[in-house]
C-alpha cells in the first residue's frame, strides 16, 4: 500500500494559541524518589533523590543524555515502575499502577495493524465502556484535533511515520487524561517531520492544556516545547538543575533566535557536557 506524505494532511492541525486558562487537574509531585533494579550484588541504583513538582497544565521536558534515567522517571509517573523509595502522586493520589488518568505516547506508535485509524483511537474509550457510539464520537473528535479526519478509514501501513505518531497522540488523548506522558515521541522522525510534529503538539496542548511530561535528549526541542526543563545527569540518574523557559507563546521557529532561547541552550549544553564528562571519568 502507498504511504501517505506528511505534508498532505497538515492544514487542519490546530495552531498554537496563547495559554488562557489554568486547569484544575494534572498536578504531578515526585518527592525523594529513587528506583533500583536487581538484588544483592546485582542491585543498581537507576535514579536517586528525584524531586519534581509539575503544576496542572504545565509542559515539562526531562532533558539529558541516554542512560540518565529520564524514561525511568516517566515510567514511575505512568505506573509501570514502582519506586524503591520516595513517592509519586497525581492530584494527591499515590501512583500504584497504570491508569486512564495518564496517557502514554512512546517513540514508536505501536498501533494495532489490523485496525483502522478510527478503530485504533476508539479502542481506549471502548475499553472504558463508553459504548460504540460514544467511542466513535470521541475518536472522530481526536482525529480532527490531530488533522487526520480524512484518514479515519486508513490502516497504519497506509500512513507515514509522522501521521502514525499523530494517531498515537490522538489515542492517548481519547481517554481525556489529566497527564500526557511522552517518551521521545519524535526521535525516530526526520528533521522536517519532527518540526511539524512539534508545532502540531503545541497546538493540541494549547487546546487541551493537559499536563505534559516529555522526554528528549534534544536541547532545542526541550526549550522550544517546554514551560520548564529539568536537566538530568547519570550515575545515578538525578535532576541536576531545573530551568524555567521564559519565552512567549505561541512559539514559532523564530523562537530559536530569541536571546533567552540561545542563553538556555548554551547553559543546557554546558550542564550536559559536564555530566557526560563526569560519566567518562567515573
pLDDT digit string (tens) for 222-268? 999 999 999 999 888 999 999 999 999 999 889 999 999 999 999 99
Helix H segments across 175-258?
191-208, 219-225
pLDDT digit string (tens) for 199-228? 889 988 988 899 999 999 999 999 999 999
Starting at the edge strand found earlier in the chain, the sheet holding 228-233 runs: 102-105, 179-183, 211-216, 59-63, 228-233, 238-244
CB atoms within 10 A of CB 125: 23
pLDDT digit string (tens) for 104-148? 998 888 899 999 999 999 998 888 766 677 889 999 999 988 889
pTM of structure? 0.89
Which domains does the chain carry? Answer: 26-112+179-281 (3.40.50.300)
C-alpha cell at 262: 540561545
Calculate mean pLDDT across residues 69-86. Answer: 95
Averaged pLDDT of the chain: 88
Contacts of 200 (CB under 8 A, 6+ apart): 10, 13, 14, 146, 147, 166
Q: In 3D, which of 101, 125, 115 has the Cα closest to residue 156?
A: 115
Phi-psi region of 138 (alpha: psi -120 to 50; beta: other; left: phi over 0): alpha
Calculate mean pLDDT across residues 60-81. Answer: 93
Calculate mean pLDDT across residues 175-193. Answer: 90
Question: Which contiguous run of DSSP H or E holds residue 28?
Answer: strand 28-37
pLDDT digit string (tens) for 5-46? 444 444 455 666 666 566 778 999 999 999 999 888 788 899
**pLDDT confidence band for 276 (50 / 70 / 90):** confident
Cell 526531562 locates to 62
Amino acid at each position: 500500500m502507498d504511504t501517505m506524505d506528511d505534508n498532505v494532511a497538515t492544514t487542519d492541525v490546530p495552531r498554537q494559541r496563547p495559554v488562557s486558562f489554568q486547569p484544575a487537574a494534572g498536578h504531578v509531585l515526585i518527592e525523594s524518589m529513587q528506583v533500583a533494579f536487581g538484588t544483592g550484588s546485582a542491585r543498581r541504583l537507576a535514579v536517586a533523590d528525584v524531586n519534581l513538582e509539575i503544576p496542572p497544565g504545565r509542559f515539562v521536558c526531562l532533558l539529558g543524555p541516554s542512560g540518565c534515567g529520564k524514561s525511568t522517571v516517566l515510567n514511575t509517573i505512568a505506573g509501570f515502575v514502582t519506586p524503591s523509595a520516595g513517592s509519586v502522586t497525581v492530584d494527591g493520589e499515590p501512583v500504584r499502577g497504570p491508569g486512564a488518568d495518564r496517557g502514554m505516547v512512546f517513540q514508536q506508535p505501536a498501533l494495532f495493524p489490523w485496525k483502522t485509524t478510527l478503530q485504533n483511537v476508539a479502542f481506549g474509550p471502548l475499553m472504558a465502556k463508553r459504548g460504540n457510539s460514544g467511542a466513535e464520537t470521541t475518536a472522530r473528535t481526536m482525529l480532527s484535533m490531530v488533522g487526520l479526519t480524512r484518514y479515519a478509514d486508513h490502516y497504519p501501513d497506509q500512513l507515514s511515520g509522522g501521521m502514525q505518531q499523530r494517531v498515537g497522540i490522538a489515542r492517548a488523548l481519547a481517554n481525556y487524561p489529566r497527564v500526557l506522558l511522552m517518551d521521545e515521541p519524535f526521535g525516530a522522525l526526520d528533521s522536517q517531520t519532527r518540526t511539524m510534529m512539534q508545532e502540531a503538539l503545541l497546538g493540541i496542548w494549547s487546546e487541551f492544556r493537559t499536563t505534559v511530561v516529555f522526554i528528549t535528549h534534544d536541547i532545542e526541542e526541550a526549550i522550544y516545547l517546554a514551560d520548564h526543563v529539568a536537566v538530568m545527569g547519570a550515575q545515578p540518574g538525578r535532576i541536576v538543575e531545573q530551568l524555567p523557559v521564559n519565552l512567549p507563546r505561541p512559539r514559532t521557529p523564530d523562537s530559536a533566535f530569541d536571546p533567552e532561547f540561545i542563553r538556555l541552550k548554551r547553559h543546557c549544553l554546558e550542564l550536559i557536557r559536564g555530566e557526560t564528562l563526569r560519566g567518562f571519568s567515573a
